[in-house]
Structure formats: structure tokens, C-alpha cells
Amino acid sequence: MYYLYILKSDKYKKTYIGISQNLSDRLVKHNKGWSKSTKPYIPWKIVYQEKYLDKRKAYKGEYYLKNPKGFLEKKSIISRFI
């Protein structure tokens, strides 16, 4: 099982999109500063997640949300948690 997730840092108004097989463990690692790209914006919380059986489909979902076509959808998802 693979998870596509969106993290939000309320303190810094930042978002992060990623995929993982163990979502709870990955969130802990983000909040402990194990990821260079998210370390400066701790603390993080999960605002969205999708489950995939196929790793390739999870990567496609991540790619979609990180590109212009998925930008509005990402903004819509995040706005529900403000």
C-alpha cells in the first residue's frame, strides 16, 4: 500500500506533497527534521491522504498535484483545512 499525502505547516504557511508506504512513520520523520526540504518548516500535519495499491499510480498522483493541472485541486484541498 502506498500513500499520497499533503502536509501543511500552519506556522510557515507551507505545504509539502509526497508518497510513503508508512504514513505515520513518515510524518514523525518530517517533524523530527529528517527531511532537508521540510526541516525548516516544522511542525507539519497531514491535511490529505490517498491510498494506492500500485506505486506507479501513487507517483502519478504526486506528479499531478505538483504540476499546474493539479495546482487548483491542491489549493482546494488545503483551503478546507484553514
Short-list 65, 67, 14, 72, CA closest to 43: 14
Whether omega for the bond prior to residue 68 falls within 30 degrees of 0, making it cis, is: no
- Indicate the number of domains in the chain: 1
Q: Which domain holds residue 36?
A: 2-79
- What integer pLDDT is reported at residue 81 of this predicted model? 63
Q: Which long-range contacts (CB under 8 A, 24 or more apart) does 34-42 make?
A: 38/7, 38/9, 40/12, 41/9, 41/11, 41/12, 41/14, 41/16, 42/9
Mean pLDDT by 10 residues, the chain (82 residues): 95 94 98 96 95 97 87 75 60
- What integer pLDDT is reported at residue 28 of this predicted model? 98
Residue type, 32: K
Residue carrying C-alpha cell 497531514: 46
CATH number of residue 23's parent domain: 3.40.1440
How confident is the model over 16-34, as pLDDT tens digits? Answer: 999 999 999 999 999 999 9
